[in-house]
Amino acid sequence: MGAKIPKGVLLMGPPGTGKTLLAKAVAGEAGVPFFHISGSEFVEMFVGVGASRVRDLFSKAKKEAPAIIFVDEIDAVGRKRGSGLGGSHDEREQTLNQILVEMDGFDPNIGVIVMAATNRPDVLDSAMLRPGRFDRRVMIGKPDIKDREAILLVHAANKPFETDVDLKKLAERTPGFTGADLANLLNEAAIFAVRKGKKTINQDDVLESIEKVLLGPQKRSKVMSKKEREMTAYHEAGHAIVGHFLEHADPIRKVSIIGRGMAGGYTLSMPTEDISYKTIAMFKDDMAMAMGGFVAERMIYGHESLSTGPSSDLKSATQSAKAMVLRYGMSDKLGPRDFGQNEEMIFLAQEIHEQKNYSEKTAELIDEEISVLLTEARERAEQLLLEKRDKMEKLVQLLLEKETVEEAEFKAILDGKE
């Protein structure tokens, strides 16, 4: 038909989604010689070495043609040329030029297909992405619920699970996890089972490993004073109660006052399905839930006794409000417009320039709008906690007694059951 075979395939996607694994699979399936090299292997201290390595690699591949060359982490050599920022590098540019010439130069490479992987397609040179070079771009995103179940099946094949382990439920509990996260999750579950001296892995091991991957290991040895434990209990109960009664917040799966990673306690909320888009209502409910801990502490202990506990909650609420105003056009006052972030170029620890596409007057309006959103979130959390004060007290008592409250017990308290 007169069509030509595409010469370049670029695999793009977040870290851990399986780009290199896919290249390995292609190597196994294709039945042709497969040359694998990492982008950083081209770059040496001596100028010209990278370019000569590219020439050698392509000449070897041409001799063996048809063949596949796979370059992992191609952003190490394929960055935009001539920007002068971020440390322009002669050797890297020569290597890139040589790759471009080899792929689609005067002497065509017949029967050699180049695959490359990167998780930073935004920094790649435009000459690499033009037709004739990497014109096949394959986006490998984070897996959805069916994909996660299939990935878990692969990693579960060599592990002795008990019958109560439901991989479908596990796929539901892990939105946003990449393939690497899921492999790590089942590995952690196996390690937990070994530590407990068991021969099989049960549902509890798996659920605990989700929290370890998300938040870090449990800190059971940390000694907290009675006042600190109580404060943590009120803080987490504040999050949980606000999150439960808001329509667009994710369902609460677990509340605990045992520290994990950097957190003193945690409230685990997970969506019931994968979400691609977030609405204003979702943002507002998430911010109100984030404010729940701060509001509960202030309600019980007064303004003078506010602690440093809610700092990460305040940070996440502020980031959400900022994103709503600056990036998603969700502010009525400022209208549907993208306000370019201050994209600071940092080079040798010096900020070279700031890119701002709005005036100082607009900056004041932006600050006002962010404050309005955060105040509204705090007021909603306050109103809810005042209404449900008795339920919050019940949850706090249970947390102080048991330290961890699972979803079923949590719902029972809110429905007024024992």
Tokens standing for residue 106 = 């005067």
Pair 211, 263: CB distance under 8 Å: no
pLDDT tens across 136-171, in order?
899 998 898 899 999 999 999 888 888 888 888 888
Residues of the chain within CATH 1.20.58.760 domain(s) are 226-414
**What's the rounded Cα separation, in Å, for the pair 184 and 213?**
8
Contacts of 337 (CB under 8 A, 6+ apart): 329
Residues of the chain within CATH 3.40.50.300 domain(s) are 8-139
**What's the rounded Cα separation, in Å, for the pair 202 and 331?**
48
Query: In the prediction, which pLDDT does 82 show?
Result: 66
The answer as to CATH 3.40.50.300 being correct for domain 8-139 is: yes
pLDDT tens across 251-282, in order?
888 898 888 777 788 888 888 777 888 899 99
Catalytically active residues, by annotation: 236
pLDDT tens across 354-401, in order?
466 788 888 899 999 999 999 999 999 999 999 989 989 999 998 888
Residues of the chain within CATH 1.10.8.60 domain(s) are 145-215
> Could you tell me the pTM of the whole model?
0.76
The answer as to CATH 1.20.120.80 being correct for domain 226-414 is: no
Pick 145-215's CATH classification: 3.90.950.10, 1.10.8.60, 3.40.50.300, 3.40.50.1820.
1.10.8.60
Residue 68: CA atoms inside 13 Å, Cβ hemisphere, count? 20
